[in-house]
Amino acid sequence: MFFSKSKYCGLWQCPKIAWLKKYKPEEYVIDDGTKSRMDNGNIVGDLAMQLFGDYNEVTTYTNNKIDISKMIKKTKQYMLDGRDNICEASFNYNGLYCAVDILRKQDNGYAIYEVKSSTHEDNYVYIVDVAYQKYVLEHCGVKVTGTYLVNINSDYIFDGTLKLNELFKITNVWKFVVDEQKEVEEKIKMAEKLLEDKNEPNIDISCSCNSPYKCGFWKYCTKHLPKPSVFDLYRLNFSKKIEYYDRGIISFDDLEKTGWFLGDIRNRQIEYALHDKGVYVDKDNIKKFLDTLSYPLYFLDFETQQPIIPLYKGTRPYQQIPFQYSLHYIETKGGELKHKEFLGISGEDPRRSLAEALCNDIPAGACVLAYNKSFECGRIGELAETFPDLQKHLYSIEFSIKDLLDPFKYGYYYKKEIGGSFSIKSVLPAMFPDDPSLNYHNLEGVHNGGEAMSIYPKIKDMSPEEQKIARHNLLKYCELDTYAMVKIWQELERLVNE
Ligand code: SF4
C-alpha cells in the first residue's frame, strides 16, 4: 500500500475520497478554487523555506516525475550530516509516505513545521495533517520534539522590504497533535480495509462534501440527482440543502409539493423552473430603482489582483489591488454611450495612477452603477484611505454608487434561465441569449475575473508583441463587463416603459 498525507487528510473529510482517488481518480474535478489554493500553496511553500535561514531542499525529479525514493535517501543523508533545516524532508514507513515542509533540528530531536497559505491556523484538518506526519516520522525512528503550523499573518503590512518573520506566524500545536495522534493508527487500519475492497463504499453526500472545501468528487457523487435539485436553489445554506436531501426532498417537484415557504425568490425559482411562465417583471419596483438613477450615468467595473505575498508598500497579504477599470457613461438622457478605461502597467503599483484616472473620469457625486457594488465600494474606500489628497473625491464616488444587482437580488426580475445565481454571468445570457456580442465565450484570452487576475502580473515578463495582445484581451474583457451592465439597464428601462 502507498498512502500519502493528502489521502490521509481526505479520510478526515470523507473516507470515500481515498477510495475514489485510488479507483476513480479521473472523476476528480479541480475547480478554480482548488487550483488557486494549490498555486498559493506552492508560492507560500517556496518562500517559507527561507524562514529559518539556510536550508536544504530534498525535492528531486527523475524524468519529470517526483522521485520519492531519492528524496528519502537525501533526507537521511542530510539528517546524518546534521543539517539544520531540511525542506520537503521525506519519509516512508510501511508505505505511509509524507514530506515535511520544514524539518528543523532541535537539541534533542526534530520539529515539524507545516506551512499553510491560509491566514487561519484554526482549521482542524491541519492538526490531522501534522499528527499523521508525526506518526510516520516516529515510526521511522525520528524523535519529534515540536510541531508547528506556519500560516500567513493577515495583519502584516509590507514596508518595502519583505520580513519573513513578520509575514509568517508560527503556532505551536503540540497539545492538539498529541491528542489527534491517538487516532492515526485506527484511521490507517480503516483506510487499509477500505482501499483493499474493490467495491465502492456506500457513503452518501453530506455536510462533509463542503467542508473544509467543496470536494472534487462532488460532480461524481451527485450524478444521481435530478436537474435542477435542492442544491441549485438560490443562496440556501449548504447544511440546509443536505437537511432537505436527507428527508428525500430533492427535486423542485418535491420542494413544491411540500408547500413550504422558502422565501419569495427561491419559491419563484422553483415555480418558474417547473412551469412555463416566461419572464417575471415587477414593473413598479424596477421603476422605483431606475428613478433613483440620474445623469450623467456611469457604469463601473474593476479588475483586481490579490497577491498572497504583498507586492506594494502599505499592502497586506491577500489584499485586493485594483489594476484596471472599464467605464461606460451617458451624459444626458438619450445621449450617446461613451467609454473610458484604465489598465495599469504590470509590475508597477497601479493604485495611484488608477485612483487619479478614476477621479478624472468620474465627476464627484455623479451617479455610478456597479454590479454587486460592495466590491467596487470596498476598493474605492481603500484607495481613499491610501491617498488622503484624493480622499474627498474618491469618497464622493463611493457614496454615489448604486447597485445594478438590486433589481435581481430583491426579486423584481426573473426567468428560469437565470437559475440560482444572479451574477452578471448568469443574468446576461438569460436576458440576451442570442447576442454573440454579449457572449464572454467569444472573447480572446480572458473570459473571467480569475483569468484577468492571473494574466495581469505575467504581462511584465512577456515579449512586446505578447504584451500588446494580453493588454488588448484584458481591455476587451473588462469593457464587456460594463457594456453588459449598460445592456441590462437598457433592458430594464425598456420593460418598465413598454
Ligand atoms: S463528494 Fe462527498 S460523498 Fe463524495 S467523496 Fe466527496 S465528500 Fe465523500
Whether residue 375 sits in one domain with residue 316: yes
Q: Which of 28, 206, 215 to mutate to test the pocket of ligand 1 (most atoms within 8 A of CB)?
A: 215
Q: Structural domain tally of the chain?
A: 3
Q: Is residue 218 in some structural domain?
A: no
- What residue owns the CA closest to ligand 1's atom 4? 221
Show the domain range for 374.
Answer: 278-498
Residues in the ligand 1 pocket, defined by CB under 6 Å: 13-14, 16-17, 20, 203, 205, 208-209, 215, 217-218, 221
Both 121 and 261 in one domain: the answer is no
Indicate the burial class of 270 (C-beta count within 10 angstroms; 0-12, 13-18, 19 or more).
Answer: buried
Ligand 1 atom closest to residue 204's alpha carbon, by position in its atom list: 3
Q: Is 213 domain-assigned?
A: no
pLDDT-derived band at 378, boundaries 50, 70, 90: very high
Would you say residue 215 lies in a domain? Answer: no
Is position 217 within any domain? no
User: Which segments of 260-416 are extended strands (E)?
Assistant: 279-281, 297-305, 321-330, 337-343, 367-370, 401-403, 413-415
Minimum mean pLDDT range among 29-33, 51-55, 184-188:
29-33
pLDDT at 28: 94
Residue 210 lies in a domain: no
Q: Evaluate whether residue 43 is within a structural domain.
A: yes
Task: Say how far apart CA 380 and CA 399 lie, in whole Å.
Answer: 10
- How far apart are the two ends of the chain, measured CA to CA in Å? 69
Q: Check: CB of residue 214 under 8 Å from CB of residue 247.
A: no
CATH number at residue 24: 3.90.320
Mutational test site, ligand 1, from 31, 218, 242, max ligand atoms within 8 Å of CB? 218
Output the pLDDT for position 212. Answer: 72
Using CA atoms, how far apart are residues 460 and 164, in angstroms rounded to an integer? Answer: 25
Q: Which of 150, 181, 196 is the last residue of a domain?
A: 196
Query: Residues 131-178: pLDDT tens digits?
Result: 999 999 999 999 999 999 999 999 999 999 999 999 999 999 999 999
**pLDDT value, residue 6:** 85
Q: Which protein residue's CA is at the shortest distance from atom 5 of ligand 1?
A: 17
Q: Are residues 336 and 253 in the same domain?
A: no
Question: At residue 2, does pLDDT exceed 80?
Answer: no
Average pLDDT over residues 308-322: 95
| Together in a domain, 26 and 163 | yes
Cα angle for residues 160, 467, 371 (degrees, 5° grid): 75
- Over residues 98-102, mean pLDDT: 97
Sheet order of strands, 56-57 included: 56-57, 85-93, 96-105, 110-115, 144-152, 168-172
What separation in angstroms does the CA of 377 have from each of 230, 310, 423? Answer: 33, 21, 17
The residue among 276, 309, 338 that closes a domain is 276
Give me ligand 1 centre to Cα 29, in Å.
Answer: 12
Mutate to test the pocket of ligand 1, among 13, 28, 31, 209 (most ligand atoms within 8 A of CB): 209
Same-domain status, 338 and 466: yes
CATH of the domain at 291: 3.30.420
Q: Is the pLDDT of residue 213 over 90?
A: no
* Nearest in space to 201 (alpha carbons), one of 24, 29, 31: 24
Based on the fold, state whether residues 310 and 262 are members of the same structural domain. Answer: no
Q: Note whether residue 202 is domain-resident.
A: no
pLDDT at 101 over 70: yes
pLDDT at residue 1 tops 70: no
**If DSSP states are collapsed to H, E and C, what string results for 77-118?**
HHHHCCCCEEEEEEEEECCEEEEEEEEEECCCCEEEEEECCC
In a domain, 201, yes or no: no
Per-residue confidence (pLDDT) for residue 332, from 0 to 100: 96
Cell numbers for 308, please give them: 498572497
Mean pLDDT of the chain: 94
In sign, the C-alpha dihedral spanning 283, 287, 289, 290 is positive
Q: Give the pLDDT of residue 3.
A: 84
Assess whether 431 and 487 both reside in one domain: yes
Q: 87-110: b or e for each residue (b if 16 or more CB lie within 10 Å)?
A: bbbbbbeeebbbbbbbbbbeeeeb
Residues 235 and 157 in one domain: no
**Cα–Cα distance between 158 and 167 in angstroms, integer?**
8
Out of 6, 9, 16, 246, mutate this one to test ligand 1's pocket (max ligand atoms within 8 Å of CB): namely: 16
Do residue 269 and residue 318 come from a single domain?
no
How far is 183 from 2, CA to CA, in rounded Å? 19
Domain identity same for 329 and 256: no
End-of-domain residue from the set 276, 310, 341: 276
Closest atom of ligand 1 to 206 CA is 2
Across 436-441, average pLDDT: 90
Q: What is the pLDDT of residues 233-277, one digit of tens each?
A: 998 999 999 999 999 999 999 999 998 888 889 999 999 999 989
CA of 50 from ligand 1 middle (Å) equals 37
* 383 shares a domain with 263: no
Give the pLDDT mean for 68-78: 97
> Is residue 113 predicted with pLDDT exceeding 90?
yes
**Closest ligand 1 atom to 221 CA:** 4
Report residue 111's pLDDT band, with 50, 70 and 90 as the boundaries: very high
| Residues 265, 297 within the same domain | no
Total length of the chain: 498
